[in-house]
Amino acid sequence: MESVDANKAVLGNGSFNILHPLIKWYLNNAELIRKDFAYYGYQLFNELLSDAASQSRVVAVNEILERLQVLLPTNAKPSVDLNITEDDLLVKKSATFLEGRI
């Protein structure tokens, strides 16, 4: 899903913003993650879609990214810049859709 603002996305229907840096990184490395690190890929999206409090989701997602920084080949490692904050998980109602950053 694309959004007018590269930092916004629809979360209400389970869609992700393909322009968000974390999602871009994931899509670029999806085959490797699916093939060799599926458990971490599952965990990552499970946390992003979780109903848990934002702060616990942020901690969990960033911990998964830290593990992938160690495990993945150099050309596929997530940069520290991909660590998320609560703002990345913000979902608010607008007149046309629910918008969030991831």
d(CA 71, CA 98): 35
Q: Give me the pLDDT at residue 80, please.
A: 92
pLDDT recorded at residue 13: 47
pLDDT of residue 102: 61
User: Whole-structure pTM over 0.95, yes or no?
Assistant: no
The one-digit pLDDT tens for each residue of the chain (102 residues) are: 444 454 544 343 456 777 889 999 999 999 999 999 999 999 998 998 888 888 898 999 999 999 999 999 999 999 999 999 888 876 554 544 444 556
User: Residue ranges per domain, the chain?
Assistant: 28-85
Q: Which long-range contacts (CB under 8 A, 24 or more apart) does 91-97 make?
A: 91/11, 91/12, 97/10, 97/12
